[in-house]
Structure 1
Amino acid sequence: MPLHVFLGDFFSNFLNLDTIFIRTIPVFITKPGALTLAFNEGRRKSFIQPIKLYLLMSLFYFFVFALVIPQNMLDKTLMGTAGSFNIGMDGRLAEIRKELADDEQVAFDSLVNKGALDAIQKIWPEVSDSLSAERTDWKELKFLAIDPSVSDEEFQQAYAKSRFYFDLDFSISKIRGFIANSNVFINGVARNLPIMMFFILPFFALILQLLYIRRDYYYVEHLIHGLHLHAFAYFIYGLAICWTFIDDYYAMQVFGWSFIIVTLYAYFSLKKVYAQPWFKTLLKFLFLGLIYVFFLLLGFILEIYVTLLLF
């Protein structure tokens, strides 16, 4: 093949793909269900294939997730629980004050002045330590798991006293290895998450087929719909993670709004594709969400279990 023919075909395919992408994204974002209808009606060459769009958005999401979420997130989260007893001190004093009468509040304020509060705050960590002396926190548990001089029997005693104890069907050496290398384990879970989500998709399509069993739809049409819905969820949640990387002050609000956007998009997509009344669509949407969450939790638990087995 001459070079100019090869280059001509390459740039032709590249520009065609670029044009299809530009045509697909606005419809994908702003018109829930429109892409699914287009593919079900046979207009497949005008837009990106559903599986390609799904893979593109899932790659975007999991790339951002791996880039932004710290590798030691589990350790930071679990170590933070050790200080929760101390953090609630001011809130507890405020609750006590509310329960007092007006004249009692004056006496309470005179006793619990700034100097007294400072003294309490200095003493409180020692009190907290003495109260939790019988419970092993995550940081100490991790040090014990790493320390080769600590036997498995000694580690098991410390683990049994910790607030993180679960009666798992694993050997103590396996549990110890998980705690010592928890960050590596979390990375393994994150790495297997796209595979787990991909295996859940056929179940999602099956639920749709059962919900709309009286309608004249093939299973693959429900699968296409599922690919589009999951691709949109990856896109929105990926943007939310990017936002928290820039400014994490409103992280909870951002993820809350992201969930609302994805939920509304899925509802309007069901309404558009299956063209049923609003209330009937709402009932099926709620049932779909309930069953899907069950499969999602089941899949996540199985993924963690398998990852722990192979760890």
Structure 2
Amino acid sequence: MLMPTDRTTYCPNCYYPMPQTGPYCGHCGQKYTTGRVRIWTLIGDFLESIFNVDSNILRTTLALFVPGKLTRDYFEGKHKRYVSPLRLFFATAVVLFAVLGLYLFTNLESQMTRATNKSRYQAYLSSFRNQLDSARAQAAALFPEGEAQLPGLDSLSALIEDPRKDSFNLVYFKRVRTGLVESVPVAVSMEDLMEMPLDSLPPHYGIRGFWHQLQVRQLAKLNREGGDFTRFALSKLIWMAVLMMPAIALMLKLLYIRRRYFYVEHLVFTLHYHAFAFFCLSAVLLVANTGWGYTLGEFLFPISILGTAFYLYKAMRRFYRQRRFKTLLKFGLLNFAYLCIFTAFALLMAVVATLAY
């Protein structure tokens, strides 16, 4: 389609002069239109946008399953045909954590809710036993000395368990003179744990210091509202995964420091690998929780772990182009560093989530 040459035509979207040899604006890319849109044009635009998006996602998915290909193509300048590394990483991470929240954390939330309800029941029962003992003492005072036989109350006391002797250990950490950190258990009655105001609980048990009181207060809150904490912690997991990526990329930078790769290349490699791992883990979890596929999911889970490990080795071989022995050695070092990084970030996330809850 050629544009008319007798007069200058402007793009109705950005008012840039339209080219004389085509219908698309060279500034914003919109197709020229007079503003009148036919139904077939609307349907055609819809189908074109759908197929363009689908083909882009399909190409990215197919390339993702070839270890290292997506990263190599990205740094060869093939950006437009694939989904960007950050968008791909966030999309697969959101899917994974949605699946985790739907299945794994729902069960964990139910277990913590049951534990919280049990503790609350024991606290209420302790309060009831206190009232029962008080009523027994008042009733006994009405009888002459030696005739205070209250078989009814005694039988009731025997039938109802007495949880007041039970306690719950709240453990907080403090620094000792040697510079180390030690754990300090605090035995708290179930009634105080569930009923006492959170600000009054630490001083009541002789705990001094802002950080010590904060730890005990948050642990008590966690035991009171355990079910809600799982949802709060899940919302922090994705940020833990995001913060881990630069640390893992830094480890790759150190492993390949003599190869003169830029840090961003290691970061993109890390994002692509985790996008593949998140995709596989989401698929296995979905299969395992379909009812008929639970046994199959148990079988696929260890296979997926081994598969993602083999994928990482092949991706390192394809992208960094080193010999098998060197790649295998760096693969082992990277996995050891990954375990350390994951453990450190998981502990940090657990501490931050507990203190911020």
The alignment's TM-score, normalised by the length of structure 2, stands at 0.60
Aligned: 1:234 with 2:278: yes
Contact 1:240 / 1:254 at 8 angstroms: preserved in 2? yes
What CA distance in whole angstroms lies between the structure 2 residues aligned with 1:297 and 1:71? 23
Equivalent of 1:281 in 316, 324, 327: 327
Shift of 1:186: 1.6
**1:256-301 Cα shifts (integer Å, max 9, x gaps):** 2221111111111001111111111011011111112211111111
| Structure 1 residue aligned with 2:145 | none
What CA distance in whole angstroms lies between the structure 1 residues aligned with 2:192 and 2:303? 41
| Structure 2 residue aligned with 1:44 | 79
Name the SS for the 1:44 alignment partner.
Answer: coil
Contact 1:142 / 1:179 at 8 angstroms: preserved in 2? no
Contact 1:271 / 1:277 at 8 angstroms: preserved in 2? yes
1:191-270 map, 5 Å? 191-247=235-291, 248-249=294-295, 251-270=297-316
Equivalent of 1:27 in 55, 63, 67: 63
Q: Which has the higher strand share?
A: 2
Contact 1:206 / 1:219 at 8 angstroms: preserved in 2? yes
The alignment's TM-score, normalised by the length of structure 1, stands at 0.68
Deviates more, 1:4-13 or 1:183-192: 4-13
Structure 1 residue runs without a partner (length 5+) = 81-132, 157-167
Name the SS for the 1:214 alignment partner.
Answer: helix
Larger C-alpha radius of gyration, 1 or 2? 2
Shift of 1:204: 1.1
In the comparison of the two structures, how many residue pairs are matched?
249
Aligned: 1:56 with 2:77: no
What CA distance in whole angstroms lies between the structure 2 residues aligned with 1:3 and 1:57? 40
Contact 2:317 / 2:323 at 8 angstroms: preserved in 1? yes
Percentage of identical aligned residues: 27
Contact 1:75 / 1:182 at 8 angstroms: preserved in 2? no
Equivalent of 2:351 in 285, 296, 305: 305
Name the SS for the 1:246 alignment partner.
Answer: coil
Q: Which amino acid aligns with 2:299?
A: Q
Shift of 1:143: 8.3
Q: CA RMSD, aligned part only?
A: 3.5
Contact 1:72 / 1:183 at 8 angstroms: preserved in 2? no
Name the SS for the 2:77 alignment partner.
Answer: coil
Shift of 1:201: 0.6
What CA distance in whole angstroms lies between the structure 1 residues aligned with 2:217 and 2:112? 23
Contact 1:32 / 1:266 at 8 angstroms: preserved in 2? yes
| CA shift in 2, pair 1:78/1:264, >3 Å | farther
| Structure 2 residue aligned with 1:271 | 317
| Structure 2 residue aligned with 1:161 | none
Q: Which amino acid aligns with 2:227?
A: N
Contact 2:112 / 2:227 at 8 angstroms: preserved in 1? no
**1:24-57 Cα shifts (integer Å, max 9, x gaps):** 212212x100111101111222222111211221
Q: Which amino acid aligns with 1:187?
A: R
What CA distance in whole angstroms lies between the structure 1 residues aligned with 2:89 and 2:190? 38
**1:181-233 Cα shifts (integer Å, max 9, x gaps):** 11211211111111111111111111111111111321111111111001011
Q: Which has the higher helix share?
A: 1
